[in-house]
Amino acid sequence: MLDTHDTNDAVIKISSLCKWFGQFKVLTDVDLEVRKGERVVICGPSGSGKSTLIRCINRLEEHQSGHIWVNGLEMTDNIKNIEAIRRNIGMVFQSFNLFPHLTVLENLTLGPTLVRQMKKKDADALAMQFLEKVCIPEQAHKYPLQLSGGQQQRVAIARSLCMEPEIMLFDEPTSALDPEMIKEVLDTMIELADSGMTMIVVTHEMGFARTVANNVVLMADGQIVETGPPESFFGNPQHERTRTFLDQILKH
Amino acid sequence: MASPSLANPAPFDPDARMPAVEWMKRNLFKNAFQSVLTIIVSFAIMSLAWLLFRWGVLDAVFVTNDPQVCREAAGACWAVIGVKHRPMLFGLYPYEEHWRLVLMIVVYLATVVISLWPRFWNLRILVPLWIASVTAITVLMFGGVFGLRYVPSNDWGGLPLTIILFTGTVLIGMPVAVLLALGRRSPLPFARGISVIFIECLRGVPLITILFVAVNVFPLFLPQGMEVNKLLRITVGIAIFFACYQAEVIRGGLQAVPRGQYEAAASINLSYWQTTRRIILPQAMRIALPSITNHIVAAMKNTSFVIIIGLFDILTATSAVMQDPLWRRYYIEAYLFIAFIYLFFGYALSRYARQVEKWINIGRI
């Protein structure tokens, strides 16, 4: 039996999470709740621990103290728990991390066939459906490195969606892209948000945060400084740290 | 007209087409010193070539059964290959059964050629194919069934023995190498410890020591009356030695696979073995391919070490054959013949590896 925990209506609940890299404390007492269908944008200066935080949610990083619950299931060392939680979470990385030796279609069908034990034909159909959703079905038989950065990132999004997760984590999905490609990826993400997906997005794209997020979180030095809906976060920030950050990022 | 250096700013561009005379002027006779060097060197090369040509072709004896004819000729005695090729190629194997070895080589080459073709890279084809051809080769070599005369493996020799040792080494050695390489990077301390000890201990000793242990020491540890075929012991010995080196090469490839690949695999919930087999190993092997080929070619030549335990691989068989007092003075021709066979297989291997690299680059595999 897997331990469950009543987290009310939060699909993700993080409480007093701490993490160290060696002697260096990267996360200090982080508390965060994400409800179903909610879009949370996490921003903050580099090195503030925002990537580490979302990487803890699907255990790409191990936390040393505090708790993470996903759908009431606590993230522990137990491999069963880790797998059960990862089943519900998709992730998109800054550097795409597509599998370069597999075609786009194979990238998408690998998880469904191996993990969800789908038949190849069904997995192919599913993959094509998601490639159409991200508007690049014609690239299915190419290799990732033959595509542009924006197309690669959309493939990566489709690959995550093929696992049909409830929650999507985005770790700076547009930071490695040329400016003209950022929009196509953001559009895909907005479409995903409109479909009701629960999303946690680490990004510097404040326009995206303003229009899509229900909640914007500012992190600095491993702590959450300010949380709030975009209107108050941008319009009336409560903390000095938030104001300097917004000044710096919105000035140019 | 523009000066030549402006018209052609990269004078060493290999694509630049130049008339031969122009090219020679520029590269061979640029100034007096270069011209003198060119003349001296080309004279040396041409006289050497002439000498070789006279020795190897003009004055050579190609066909004869009489060593006296060779003795009277000034050039090479290629006839020795015609006279002695069967014991050189087939060692001590009974003379009238040599057709079985020819058939074995044909079966082997056919199997290898099929296996190297990407379109047949499917376990449902390759596994039955290899089971069939290994069975066929075993039957041909040993005999004892279908009215074939029984030939013990101690009498095997020459090219078939070299082929068996080499192929056995690669077929047994590569999977062991992959496991050792994975073990050395494993998060499990036990697997890591075993792999490190295995690799470091065996890499640290000469191959001859391992062969000596396999032949003379290993049987002492077997229970009374039990015996493992000597050829098998030797093959496994060479294979494990090969695996230890190859493991380090593969580990290099594994280390070159970016961390993001592991993370992406984890994020779609692939297990350790799924990640390893489908994501990490294919990329690591592609990266390490040039060095892997290097060790495979070396393994082919390492087979000649079996001389120390009295097996007659192609090189040892040739040395033995050339003890014949009538023909022994023509050992150079005999060894050139053997060198050519090694070169043929070695060069075929590296050409194939190049082709595989090309396939990888165009994304065909």
**Is the separation of the CB atoms in B149 and B94 below 8 Å?**
yes
The candidate with the shortest Cα–Cα distance to A189, out of A219, A204, A216, A168, is A168
Which residue does chain A place closest to B281, by CA atoms? A101
Give the per-residue SS3 of A40-73: EEEECCCCCCHHHHHHHHCCCCCCCEEEEEECCE
Residue B142: what pLDDT?
86
Query: Alpha-carbon distance B133 to B112, whole Å?
Result: 10
Query: Alpha-carbon distance B61 to B75, whole Å?
Result: 7
Tell me the sheet residues that pair with B158: B313
> What are the C-alpha distances in Å from B353 to residues B248, B287, B299, B302, B346?
19, 12, 15, 19, 11
The candidate with the shortest Cα–Cα distance to A81, out of A63, A69, A64, is A69
Nearest CB to A143; choose among B261, B286, B363: B363
Q: Tally C-beta pairs within 8 A across A and B.
A: 58
> Which of chain A's residues have a Cβ under 8 Å away from the Cβ of B266?
58-60, 86
Q: Report the complex ipTM.
A: 0.91
B220-261 per-position pLDDT tens digit: 887 777 777 888 888 898 899 999 999 999 999 999 999 999
Residue B109: what pLDDT?
92
Residue B14: what pLDDT?
55
What rounded mean pLDDT belongs to chain B? 85
Residue B268 and residue A99: Cβ atoms within 8 Å? no
Instruction: Take residue B244 and report the two structure tokens written for it.
Output: 């230890």
Give the per-residue SS3 of A105-171: HHHHHHHHHHCCCCCHHHHHHHHHHHHHHCCCHHHCCCCHHHCCHHHHHHHHHHHHHCCCCCEEEEE
Nearest CB to B263; choose among A60, A115, A159: A60
Residue A91 and residue B286: Cβ atoms within 8 Å? no
Residue B5: what pLDDT?
47
Residue whose entry in the numeric block shows the structure tokens 């070789």: B52
Q: Which one is the CATH code of B151-362: 1.10.3720.10, 1.20.1070.10, 3.40.1190.20, 1.10.10.10? A: 1.10.3720.10
Residue B2: what pLDDT?
42
Query: Alpha-carbon distance B81 to B334, whole Å?
Result: 6
Residue A93 and residue B282: Cβ atoms within 8 Å? no
> Which of chain B's residues have a Cβ under 8 Å away from the Cβ of A164?
none
Residue B4: what pLDDT?
46
**Is the separation of the CB atoms in A224 and A31 below 8 Å?**
yes
Residue whose entry in the numeric block shows the structure tokens 């597999």: A102
Q: Pairing mode, if any, of strands A215-220 and A10-21?
A: unpaired
> Which of chain A's residues have a Cβ under 8 Å away from the Cβ of B286?
101
Q: What is the dihedral of CA A176, A178, A184, A187, to 10 degrees?
A: 60
Start-to-end CA distance of chain B, whole Å, equals 50
- Rounded to the nearest angstrom, the minimum Cα separation between B129 and chain A is 26
Read off the amino acid at residue B314. Answer: I
**Is the separation of the CB atoms in B279 and B219 below 8 Å?**
no
Instruction: Take residue A102 and report the two structure tokens written for it.
Output: 């597999």
| One pLDDT digit (tens) per residue for chain A, 252 residues | 455 566 667 899 999 999 999 899 999 999 999 999 999 999 999 889 999 999 999 999 999 999 999 998 999 888 888 999 999 999 999 999 999 999 999 999 999 999 999 999 999 999 999 999 888 889 999 999 899 999 999 999 999 999 999 999 999 999 989 988 999 999 999 999 999 999 999 998 999 999 999 999 999 999 999 999 999 999 888 999 999 999 888 775
> Which of chain A's residues have a Cβ under 8 Å away from the Cβ of B270?
110-111, 114-115
Read off φ and ψ for residue A193, nearest 5 degrees: -65, -40
Query: Alpha-carbon distance B256 to B250, whole Å?
Result: 10
Instruction: Take residue B74 and report the two structure tokens written for it.
Output: 């000034």
3-class DSSP assignment, residue A35: strand
Residue B17: what pLDDT?
66
Reported pTM:
0.81
Residue A251, classified by CB atoms within 10 Å of its CB into exposed (0-12), middle (13-18) or buried (19+), is exposed
Residue B13: what pLDDT?
56
Q: Chain B contact for A110, CB < 8 A?
A: yes
Query: Alpha-carbon distance A224 to A169, whole Å?
Result: 18
Residue B267 and residue A100: Cβ atoms within 8 Å? no
> Which of chain B's residues have a Cβ under 8 Å away from the Cβ of A101?
282-283, 286
Which residue does chain A place closest to B270, by CA atoms? A115
Nearest CB to B283; choose among A83, A101, A160: A101
3-class DSSP assignment, residue A32: strand
Read off the amino acid at residue A1. Answer: M
Residue whose entry in the numeric block shows the structure tokens 């009489």: B66
Query: Alpha-carbon distance B180 to B182, whole Å?
Result: 5
Read off the amino acid at residue A246. Answer: L
Q: What is the dihedral of CA A241, A244, A247, A249, to 10 degrees?
A: -70
Residue A98 and residue B264: Cβ atoms within 8 Å? yes
Instruction: Take residue B76 and report the two structure tokens written for it.
Output: 């090479």
> Which of chain A's residues have a Cβ under 8 Å away from the Cβ of B267?
58, 60, 86, 89-91, 93, 160
The candidate with the shortest Cα–Cα distance to B287, out of B314, B332, B255, is B255
Residue B364: what pLDDT?
60
Q: Chain B contact for A98, CB < 8 A?
A: yes
Read off φ and ψ for residue A99, nearest 5 degrees: -85, 110
CA atoms within 13 A on the CB side of B316: 21
Q: Chain B contact for A186, CB < 8 A?
A: no
How many Cβ atoms from other residues are within 10 Å of residue B231's Cβ?
Answer: 20
Tell me the sheet residues that pair with B7: none
Residue whose entry in the numeric block shows the structure tokens 């159909």: A125
> Which of chain A's residues have a Cβ under 8 Å away from the Cβ of B282?
101
Nearest CB to B278; choose among A90, A110, A163: A110
> What are the C-alpha distances in Å from B146 to residues A34, A236, B21, B124, B140?
76, 94, 68, 29, 10
Start-to-end CA distance of chain A, whole Å, equals 53
How many Cβ atoms from other residues are within 10 Å of residue B13's Cβ?
Answer: 10
Collect all residues from B whose CB is shorter than 8 A from any CB in A. Answer: 258, 260-261, 263-264, 266-270, 274, 278-279, 282-283, 286, 363
H-only helix segments in chain B: 4-7, 20-27, 32-53, 67-72, 79-90, 98-115, 123-142, 158-184, 189-203, 207-212, 230-256, 259-267, 272-274, 281-302, 314-321, 331-361
Which residue does chain B place closest to A168, by CA atoms? B267
**Is the separation of the CB atoms in A19 and A25 below 8 Å?**
yes
- Rounded to the nearest angstrom, the minimum Cα separation between B186 and chain A is 17
Which residue does chain B place closest to A108, by CA atoms? B268
Instruction: Take residue B154 and report the two structure tokens written for it.
Output: 């101690």
> Which of chain A's residues have a Cβ under 8 Å away from the Cβ of B261?
97, 99
- Rounded to the nearest angstrom, the minimum Cα separation between A43 and chain B is 22
The candidate with the shortest Cα–Cα distance to A42, out of A177, A183, A167, A214, is A214
Residue A159 and residue B268: Cβ atoms within 8 Å? yes
Which residue does chain B place closest to A117, by CA atoms? B270
Residue A114 and residue B270: Cβ atoms within 8 Å? yes
**Is the separation of the CB atoms in A108 and A118 below 8 Å?**
no
Nearest CB to A93; choose among B260, B270, B282: B260
Residue A86 and residue B278: Cβ atoms within 8 Å? no
Residue B16: what pLDDT?
58
**Is the separation of the CB atoms in A202 and A54 below 8 Å?**
yes
A96: left (phi over 0), alpha (psi -120 to 50) or beta: left
Would you kindly state where each structural domain of chain B is located, as residue ranges?
151-362
Nearest-Å Rg of the Cα atoms of chain A is 18
**Is the separation of the CB atoms in A205 and A181 below 8 Å?**
no
Instruction: Take residue B362 and report the two structure tokens written for it.
Output: 């165009």
Percent helix, strand and coil across chain A, each rounded to 5? 40, 25, 35
Question: Which parts of chain B have pLDDT scores under 50?
Answer: 1-5
- Rounded to the nearest angstrom, the minimum Cα separation between B354 and chain A is 18
